[in-house]
Amino acid sequence: MTTLIGAGLAVDVQAGAGAHAHAPDAAYRAAGANTTPDHPAGRTEVVISVQPPTPAEAARLREGDITISFLQPNLERELVEVLRDRGVTSFSLDLLPRVTRAQAADALSSQALVAGYRAVVEAVHRLPKFLPMFTTAAGTVPPAKVLVLGAGVAGLQAIATARRLGAVVEAYDVRAAAKEEVRSLGAKFVELDLETQDGVYAQAQSETFLERQRELIAERVAASDVVITTAAVPGRTAPVLVTADMLKTMAPGSVVVDLAAESGGNVTASVAGEDTWVGDVLVHGARNMPSSMPAHASKLYARNVANLLLMMTSDGEVRPDLDDEVLGGCCLTHAGELRRELP
């Protein structure tokens, strides 16, 4: 807020927008913003939100207005059409190129960090065991074993958090680059006799590959007290890594947290936002994890969005240069055109 006001912008905040994150309207006013009772679309130039606007809200934007949020263009077809037809310049944070200059605006990463941390908290909360080892007069308690599948931003944060709590952690990812990152956090990388992938993003895998992966990882799943799955392929349904049969081989009381539950699920049994028992194993399907850590999730998101907005602001005016690699890369609609093909 102060960053944007310092850049010469006038800021309206929807009344109550920060309530869940313990940021009262008075705090926004003290920072120099106005609070408004309604959605401010219709009289502002830039509308920022976390969730995409509804098609009805988008229809209130004027030609040339700018909107920034997680637009999820693959899911929000009707919204994308409204934004295009209204001549709105829309930026989608899920399209931000993962280049060094964009890192300060990378809200996918900041929210994945929150989700990875929270996944461990959710697991620990449900696990009827300690995570760390204890040596006591009543005997020794061995450390819990945690397996993390998918070692991107969320997976690495889950590994670091489980390690801090004293668990013995192992992890697997299809990308070769993940191996060193996993090891640098003090976890063991699970070697599977499978082809690895190069690059920063995973490519979609064939069903034959996934079948083989499930066969090979089954033994590590069975040996774990906690499994956290974070595997994703951008723009695709999440790959199935753990089946109900695999869950039944885990010790009673074991816990699985599926961070991919909202995008199809890495675990066949998971339902987003719900706990499901499979035999004596509890599967938690994550839903909107960042909203369960609203104070820090909002703070990080606000900084990301402010940094993106500053990239398009000079002398108190917002004028995005769409030839810029970062801004052009995450711009979805502009001047009545859809700037990228949707699958």
Interface pick for ligand NAD out of 50, 82, 105, 149 (rule CB under 6 A): 149
Which range of residues in 117-125, 147-155, 286-294, 309-317 is near ligand NAD by CB under 6 A?
Answer: 147-155
Alpha helices in 185-293 (DSSP H): 207-222, 244-247
Give 229 or 333: the residue with its C-beta nearer to ligand NAD: 229
Contact map string, positions 158 to 197, toward ligand NAD, x by CB under 6 A: --------------xxxx--x-------------------
Annotate each residue in 211-230 with x if it binds ligand NAD (CB under 6 A) or - if it does not, as one string.
Answer: --x----------------x
Contact status: 151 vs ligand NAD (CB under 6 A): yes
- In angstroms, the CA 73 to CA 79 distance is 8
Q: Which residue in this structure is represented by tokens 């703070």? A: 299
Near ligand NAD by CB under 6 A: residue from 239, 285, 290, 329: 239
Looking at 191-257, list the stretches that DSSP marks H as alpha helix, in order from N- to C-terminal side: 207-222, 244-247
Nearest residue (CB) to ligand NAD, 99 versus 295 = 99
175 included as an active-site residue: no
61/167 Cα distance (integer angstroms)? 50
- When binding is defined by CB under 6 A, the residue of 80, 112, 190, 227 that contacts ligand NAD is 112
CB of 211 to ligand NAD, least distance (A): 11
Nearest to 316 by CA among 104, 32, 10, 45: 10
Applying the rule CB under 6 A, the residues between 265 and 324 that interact with ligand NAD are none
Residues 6 or more apart whose Cβ sits within 8 Å of residue 16: 25
CA distance 68 to 46: 8
Site string for ligand NAD, 18-57 (x = CB under 6 A): ----------------------------------------
Q: Is 98 a catalytic residue?
A: yes
State how far Cα 311 lies from the chain centre.
23
172 assigned to active site: no
The secondary structure of residue 175, as a DSSP letter, is B
By CB under 6 A, the count of residues binding ligand NAD is: 32
Among 103, 268, 288, 291, binds ligand NAD (CB under 6 A): 103
Catalytic residue among 103, 197, 263, 291: 103
Number of Cβ within 10 Å of residue 203's Cβ equals 12
| Alpha-carbon distances, residue 235 vs 63, 90, 195, 238 (angstroms) | 28, 18, 22, 9
Instruction: Copy the structure tokens of residue 272.
Output: 């987003």
CA distance 144 to 228: 13
69 in catalytic set: no
109 part of the active site: yes
User: Per CB under 6 A, does 150 bind ligand NAD?
Assistant: yes
Q: Which of 46, 93, 96 is nearest to 71 (CA)?
A: 93
Q: Which of these segments, 9-17, 83-91, 143-151, 277-285, binds ligand NAD (CB under 6 A)?
A: 143-151
Catalytic residue among 69, 109, 111, 270: 109
- Residue 59 makes CB contacts below 8 A (sequence gap 6+) with 82, 86
Our CB check for ligand NAD shows the closer of 140 and 208 to be 208
* Rounded distance between C-alpha atoms, residue 164 and residue 144, angstroms: 12
H-helix or E-strand containing 170? strand 168-172
Residue 59 CA to residue 141 CA, distance in Å, equals: 60
Query: Catalytic pick from 101, 201, 275, 280?
Result: 201
Minimum distance from residue 40 beta carbon to ligand NAD (Å): 31
Catalytic residues: 98, 103, 106, 109, 201
Residues that bind ligand NAD (CB under 6 A): 98-100, 103, 106, 108-109, 112, 149-155, 172-175, 178, 200-202, 205, 213, 230-234, 239, 241
